[in-house]
């Protein structure tokens, strides 16, 4: 039997070189400042809470793999017995017995490795699924301000590529770092017990290998982080190009997009090549040094056999054991590389998971509302009291977006919110369902501070329709009923579609309301998407309704029909409607003018036309600069 046949079977490892699943970096937050000082072990230990439920099977699989690997070290001992015994004595029966033992050990070893793979397959798929579910839940709970900072492609890469790398680590490097380390220790113990002088020759490369591996780990981890960040950037570019394909084609920008893609691809290629060079260097070191040691051992052992100081069987067993240890030693390079990539993936995964989720209620320590009777409070409507808002990442010297907003929308009243572009209208409406948190001040619904409510309760009271109508890859029915709390009543869908003047076009769809609208609803026109978003807002008969310019994409005729139907809905709710056109303003009982982050005037449409030059110019479509000159 050849010496190499005695080596343990090499499980096919996932290739750690360029081309693994990509992981992105956040578009806003940079890589951790302490990346150079990070500990890969500490990063990987953070996976324990997810691994704990399946630890029994993983430990069993590791034990089975160690047993299988160490079983391979029995083969050289059988060879020693055969060479010094039956072969030297020309005992044919003994040779057949030895061959049978070798076959039995080989089959048992292969079966144990197969058992290990079976033991880890299902648990590790479950670990990956639970980590992905935890990340998705956390993303759903994080505030809108977080999603404003992070590109969706970067988050997507963490939920797919990062977790794939982590699962590969748990399936292969984690086990085989332990298995190969144990095999090396046991193997060298066997070698030293057979002939300690030859064992010392084989141990000579240990010190330089430790140095090489340490330097390699430091350099490779930096390149691995850079590569995964760059793949994340590339993922974002591809995602944006796919989602924005109509714009790219409409403006003929495919060449500029291709240039951007090529530039990012070139940077990634350079980084991956640096990774490959580092991996090639460590692979050369961990291959060449042990081979030199084995060669020196062969020469020295042959001399000892020739001098009669060592038996031929002992030399064969010694060399066979040394060759069996080649794979555990040579695998160190790519096992360390894969572990570092997985540690980087874990860092990036926990970067998102470590983002703090705002508390469900924030009103602890705030002054209680003014004392009033239960009946009076129940009719108080919507109030803004000295509300200030500035973005969390804005400069301390930057003026706030909203600066002391005071506004009262009486119960059952519809108020239109009017202001120039950039005056803070959309931000103000986003504060009501707590998509953003007010920096100071408070907002109350019927006398209750929204910061003291759970988000679930708050969002059951408030319904919103944004100017940018976002639909999901689902049916028309599912998209609309998303706005209904609990089980919608029979006829709620038809009523909502009627209010939004969406009955006719949804009925004309191939499967009516059951028709899938496609990703982001791009199979529909802008006006159709906006009408479905409006239907979603009114389907749950909310107590408070917030509409951010909900009719901007409608033609004049459809707008008039929607407004007529919407009056019926607004009559039974307290509503704040962002308006840019007089026709929308006329839906409201009163109008609030938002200017430079403050409420500049409140009154009816007719009153503001008489008293406010800025309002007149906004309604007439003239520039605010002309308003200033007129003043």
What is the DSSP secondary-structure string of 367-420? PPPPP--HHHHHT--EEEEEEEE--TTS-TTSPPSEEEEEEEE-TT-EEEEEE-
Residue 487 Cα to chain centre, angstroms: 31
Asked which of 15-29, 79-93, 284-298, 365-379 is least confident by mean pLDDT, the reply is 15-29
The pLDDT assigned to 444 comes to 93
Least confident of 100-114, 263-277, 352-366: 352-366
pLDDT of residue 383: 93
Cα 142 from Cα 352, distance rounded (Å): 9
DSSP 116-184: HHHHHHHHHHHHHHHHHHHHHHHHHHS-HHHHHHS-HHHHHHIIIIIHHHHHHHHHTHHHHHHHHHHHH
User: 121: which 2 tokens?
Assistant: 């397959």
The residues near 331 (Cβ < 8 Å, ≥ 6 apart) are 13, 176, 180
What pLDDT band is residue 384 in, cutting at 50, 70 and 90?
very high
Map out the domains of the chain with their CATH numbers. 49-353 (1.20.1560.10), 375-630 (3.40.50.300)
Condensed to tens digits (0 to 9), the pLDDT of residues 300-320 reads 878 877 877 777 777 777 778
**Residue 441 pLDDT > 80, yes or no?**
yes
Cα–Cα separations (whole angstroms), residue 13 to 7, 143, 177, 328, 352: 16, 40, 12, 13, 29
Q: Is 463 helix (H, G, I), strand (E, B) or coil?
A: strand
User: Which residue in 103, 87, 106 sits closest to 95, CA to CA?
Assistant: 87
CB atoms within 10 A of CB 149: 14
- What pLDDT digit, counting tens, does each position of 226-262 carry? 887 787 778 777 777 776 666 676 667 777 778 888 8
Look at the block and give the residue holding tokens 């007010």.
438
pLDDT over 70 at 221, yes or no: yes
412 vs 160: CA distance, rounded Å: 47
Q: How far, in Å, CA of 339 to CA of 334, rounded?
A: 8
Across all residues in the chain, what is the average pLDDT?
79
Whole-angstrom distance, CA of residue 124 vs CA of residue 167: 6
pTM: 0.68
Residue indicated by tokens 């409510």: 453
CA distances from 80 to 9, 108, 190, 312, 318 (A): 21, 20, 13, 8, 9
Which phi and psi (to 5°) does residue 573 adopt?
-145, 170
H or E element that contains 599: strand 598-603
Q: Answer yes or no: is pLDDT of 401 > 50.
A: yes
Tokens read off for 311: 């038996």
Do strands 462-465 and 402-409 pair parallel, antiparallel, or not at all (unpaired)?
A: unpaired
Interatomic CA distance for residues 218 and 464, integer angstroms = 50
- Start-to-end CA distance of the chain, whole Å, equals 102
């Amino acid at each position: 039997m050849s010496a190499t046949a005695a080596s343990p079977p090499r499980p096919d490892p996932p290739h750690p070189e360029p081309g693994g699943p990509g992981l992105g970096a956040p578009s806003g937050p940079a890589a951790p400042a302490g990346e150079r000082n990070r500990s890969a072990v500490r990063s990987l230990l953070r996976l324990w809470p997810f691994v704990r439920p399946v630890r029994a099977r993983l430990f069993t699989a590791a034990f089975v793999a160690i047993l299988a690997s160490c079983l391979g070290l029995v083969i050289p001992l059988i060879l020693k017995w055969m060479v010094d015994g039956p072969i030297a004595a020309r005992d044919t029966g003994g040779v057949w017995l030895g061959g049978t033992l070798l076959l039995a050990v080989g089959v048992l070893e292969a079966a144990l490795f197969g058992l290990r793979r079976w033991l880890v397959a299902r648990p590790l798929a479950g670990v990956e699924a639970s980590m992905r579910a935890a990340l998705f839940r956390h993303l759903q709970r994080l505030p809108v301000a977080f999603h404003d900072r992070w590109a969706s492609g970067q988050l997507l890469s963490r939920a797919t590529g990062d977790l794939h790398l982590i699962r590969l680590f748990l399936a292969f490097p984690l086990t085989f770092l332990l298995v190969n380390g144990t095999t090396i220790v046991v193997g060298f113990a066997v070698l030293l017990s057979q002939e300690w002088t030859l064992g010392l020759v084989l141990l000579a490369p240990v010190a330089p290998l430790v140095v090489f591996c340490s330097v390699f780990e430091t350099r490779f981890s930096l390149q691995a982080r850079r590569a995964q960040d760059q793949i994340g950037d590339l993922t974002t570019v591809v995602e944006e190009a796919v989602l924005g394909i109509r714009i790219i084609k409409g403006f003929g920008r495919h060449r500029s997009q291709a240039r951007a893609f090529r530039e990012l691809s070139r940077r990634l290629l350079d980084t991956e090549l640096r990774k490959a060079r580092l991996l090639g260097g460590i692979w050369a070191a961990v291959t060449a040094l042990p081979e030199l040691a084995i060669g020196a051992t062969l020469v020295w052992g042959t001399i000892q056999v020739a001098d009669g100081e060592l038996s031929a069987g002992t030399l064969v067993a010694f060399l066979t054991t040394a060759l069996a240890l080649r794979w555990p030693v040579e695998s160190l390079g790519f096992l360390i590389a894969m572990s570092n990539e997985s540690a980087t993936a874990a860092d990036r995964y926990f970067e998102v998971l470590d983002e703090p989720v705002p508390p469900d209620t924030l009103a602890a320590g705030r002054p209680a509302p003014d004392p009033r009777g239960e009946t009076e409070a129940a009719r108080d409507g919507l109030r803004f009291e000295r509300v200030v808002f500035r973005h969390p990442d804005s400069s301390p010297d930057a003026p706030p977006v909203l600066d002391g907003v005071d506004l009262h929308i009486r119960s059952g009243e519809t108020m239109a919110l009017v202001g120039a572009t950039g005056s803070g209208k959309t931000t103000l409406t986003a504060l009501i369902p707590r998509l953003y948190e007010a920096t100071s001040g408070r907002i109350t619904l019927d006398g209750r501070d929204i910061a003291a409510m759970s988000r679930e309760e708050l969002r059951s009271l408030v319904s919103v329709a944004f100017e940018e109508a976002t639909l999901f890859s689902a049916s028309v029915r599912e998209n609309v009923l998303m706005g209904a709390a609990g089980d919608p009543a029979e006829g709620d869908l038809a009523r909502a579609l009627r209010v939004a003047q969406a009955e006719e076009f949804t009925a004309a769809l191939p499967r009516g309301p059951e028709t899938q609208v496609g990703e982001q609803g791009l199979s529909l026109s802008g006006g159709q998407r906006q009408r479905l978003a409006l239907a979603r807002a009114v389907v749950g008969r909310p107590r408070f309704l917030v509409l951010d310019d909900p009719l901007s994409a409608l033609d004049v005729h459809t707008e008039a029909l929607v407004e007529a139907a919407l009056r019926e809905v607004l009559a039974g709710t307290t509503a704040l409607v962002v308006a840019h056109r007089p026709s929308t303003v006329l839906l409201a009982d009163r109008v609030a003018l938002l200017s430079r982050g403050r409420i500049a005037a409140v009154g009816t449409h007719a009153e503001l036309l008489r008293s406010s030059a800025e309002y007149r110019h906004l309604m007439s479509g003239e520039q605010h600069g002309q308003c200033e000159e007129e003043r």
